[in-house]
Each structure stands twice: as C-alpha cells, then as structure tokens.
Amino acid sequence: MSGARRIVSLVKHNERFIFRFAPGQEPAVLESLVQIAADPRTAFDWLDAALVSYELGRTAADERKAHGARSRRSSETYRS
C-alpha cells in the first residue's frame, strides 16, 4: 500500500481546493491549511480549514478502523 494516496477536497463557489497526500502526511496538510487560511489573497478561510481538517481526521479514523478489521480477520484466520 506504499502508493496509496488520500484526497480531501472542498468546493467553494467557483473554486476547488484539492489536497492530495500519502497516509501519515496529515500534519503537513494541516500546516498547509493554516498557511492558506492565513493568506488574505485566497478565498479559503478558517471555517474552510476547519472543515477540511475534520475530513482529514475522519479519513484517518476510517482508515484505522479498516486496518483494525483487517488485522482482526488475519489473527482470527491464524487461530483457526
């Protein structure tokens, strides 16, 4: 799964903000959100940063749940 990529996007009016990243790079994406939200030249504001940040967390949690389910299935198969 080394080539796995995540995508979180936000559509605001006629603009699209798309964040592509590898698993584990969420802290770097958060830093980018802060820089973009702080830039008065962009339409991306702090509420947008909060929404995208929430989606990042949700995506990571979903991935952890899926990984945990796969791990449990593997250990159950091994015990059988």
Res. 73: pLDDT tops 80: no
Res. 2: pLDDT tops 80: no
**Eight-class DSSP state of 10:** E
Mean of pLDDT over the chain: 85
User: How far is the C-alpha of 21 from the C-alpha of 6, rounded, in Å?
Assistant: 5
Res. 31: pLDDT tops 70: yes
User: Please, are residues 27 and 21 in contact by the beta-carbon 8 Å criterion?
Assistant: no
Read off the pTM.
Answer: 0.73
Res. 32: pLDDT tops 70: yes
Model confidence band, residue 62 (pLDDT cutoffs 50, 70, 90): confident
Q: Which residues of 20-50 are buried (b: 16+ CB within 10 A; e: fewer)?
A: ebeeeebeebbeebeebbeeeeeebeeebbe
User: How far is the C-alpha of 42 from the C-alpha of 62, rounded, in Å?
Assistant: 30
